[in-house]
Amino acid sequence: MDAFVTTDYPEISKKEIKELIKKESKIYENLCFVKDISERDLTKLCYEMQSIKKVCLSIFNCSSKNLENNIRDLKIDKKMLKEISSFEVRSESHSELFTSSKLNTFIGLEIQKNTNLDVDLNSPNLTFYVVLGKELFIGIDVVGFDLSKRPYKISNQSDSINSSFAYSLLRIAGIKKNSVVIDPFSGSGTIPIECTLFQSNISAFKFENKFNGFKIPFLKKYFMDEENFQKEKEVHTQGKVYAYDHLLKHVLGIQKNAKLAGVEKIMTMSKISIDWVDSKLDENSIDFIITDPPKYTVKLDNLKDITKIYDELFYQAQYVLKKTGKIAILVLEENVLLGEAKKHKFELVELVELKRGEMNYKFLIFKKGV
């Protein structure tokens, strides 16, 4: 059988799939398509991938050109529908020709003709998920919710970044399983928690029993087996993660989130302001600083304060980073950051432009200069 995952970060997801199940995938706009996947690997992707939103068992795909004609080739394996009596359709459309609502109705009618199942929008046995871009993909949604919204995030700051976005920053920065990492502006703890989950191979969803897969007869056993496997897995990590913040309420929130994520015993969380970092860590002891710090905005007129924060950040980085260490910083506007980096003799390695919702971010990675 084949599968696809939906994602805002397809290159990261492609790499993650290869690491987790040793399979290549093909990128189609906002999804990665994987051929010949086992039920065991399908459930593994649900529990362990950190960059995605959905996992679907693929049942049909075609070109979006002449869609009304191409969809006539839809054939659904009746073996998959054993004990299934009703369904719903959910979708995401990247086409000007079909809104999601129109696409739901159109595909729903085709599935109904193909299967004779009843439509039930309140309590369906099965959810078909449709993605329309240059190609159309139809799959059975084995998740049932947005995987980028982690169950551990009960304590959240208003400006906290999305968990899958945080994970993607880690991978762009090049953080490894054994890296020693610090986030000195941890906020809700999203970046350090995602880093610890990655380094320790812990699933953020090991206590999540809401997966659609538990309700689908031919997949239920595999989801139960994977749930038990994730719960019994020993917690250990090769790396080390430090989550610091200057506000006690933030640190208390990080501790709550880390406990729910199951990583509180392998993370270090402390109330420490940026100018005290060097008093807590040894010189040349850190591989990566990665952080989402306070940001300069014209509206807040906070240039003086932000310049001081960035100045201290690079000063501390010079002390705690190894000679080969890097510092990766998420900002909205890079000029102030570049000025302070140059002042402290840091060289820009990479600048990546990232869009999240309506926000346009700049993610800058620096190394120590000579």
Per-residue pLDDT of the chain (370 residues; tens, 9 = 90+): 999 999 999 999 999 999 999 999 999 989 999 999 999 999 999 999 999 999 999 999 999 888 888 888 898 888 888 889 999 999 999 888 888 999 999 999 999 988 889 999 999 999 999 999 999 999 999 999 999 999 998 877 767 899 999 999 999 999 999 999 999 999 999 999 999 999 999 999 988 888 999 999 999 999 999 999 999 888 888 899 999 999 999 999 999 999 999 999 999 999 999 999 999 999 999 999 999 999 877 777 788 999 999 999 999 999 999 999 999 999 999 999 999 999 999 999 999 999 887 789 999 999 998 7
Q: What is the pLDDT of residue 174?
A: 97
**Structural domain boundaries, residue 334:** 163-200+232-368
Domain match, 87 and 183 both: no
Q: Cα–chain-centroid distance for residue 292?
A: 16
- Same-domain pairing of 179 and 311: yes
Q: Does some domain include residue 154?
A: no
For the chain, how many structural domains are there in total?
2
What is the model's pTM? 0.94
Place of tokens 């056993």: 221
* 171 and 133 co-located in one domain: no
Is the same domain home to 268 and 195? yes
CATH number of domain containing 284: 3.40.50.150
Domain boundary among 106, 141, 176: 141
> Is there a single domain that holds both residue 135 and residue 243?
no
Side-chain-side CA neighbours of 358 within 13 Å: the count stands at: 0
**Domain assignment of residue 175, yes or no:** yes
| One domain, residues 88 and 167 | no
In-domain check, residue 218: no
Q: Is residue 330 part of a domain?
A: yes
90 in any annotated domain:
yes
Residues 20 and 50 in one domain: yes
| Sequence-distant contacts of 31-34: CB under 8 A, at least 24 apart | 31/4, 31/5, 31/6, 31/7, 31/131, 31/137, 32/4, 32/5, 32/7, 33/2, 33/3, 33/4, 33/58, 33/61, 33/137, 34/2, 34/3, 34/4, 34/5
Q: Tell me, yes or no, whether 346 and 241 share the same domain.
A: yes
Q: Measured between alpha carbons, how far is 257 from 259 in angstroms, rounded to an integer?
A: 5
328 and 181 in a single domain? The answer is yes
| pLDDT recorded at residue 236 | 82
Task: Centre a 10 Å sphere on the Cβ of residue 61 and count the other Cβ atoms it contains.
Answer: 18
Examine the domain organization and report whether 193 and 320 are in the same domain. yes
In-domain check, residue 102: yes
- Look at residue 158 in the predicted model and tell me its pLDDT: 67
Specify the pLDDT at position 302.
83
Q: Measure the CA–CA gap between 29 and 94, rounded to whole angstroms.
A: 9
Taking each helix axis from N to C end, the angle separating 39-48 and 217-232, rounded to the nearest 10 degrees, works out to: 50
On whether both 48 and 167 belong to a single domain, the answer is: no
- 246 occurs within a structural domain: yes
In a domain, 217, yes or no: no
On whether both 56 and 117 belong to a single domain, the answer is yes
Query: What CATH number should be reported for the domain holding residue 46?
Result: 3.30.2130.30
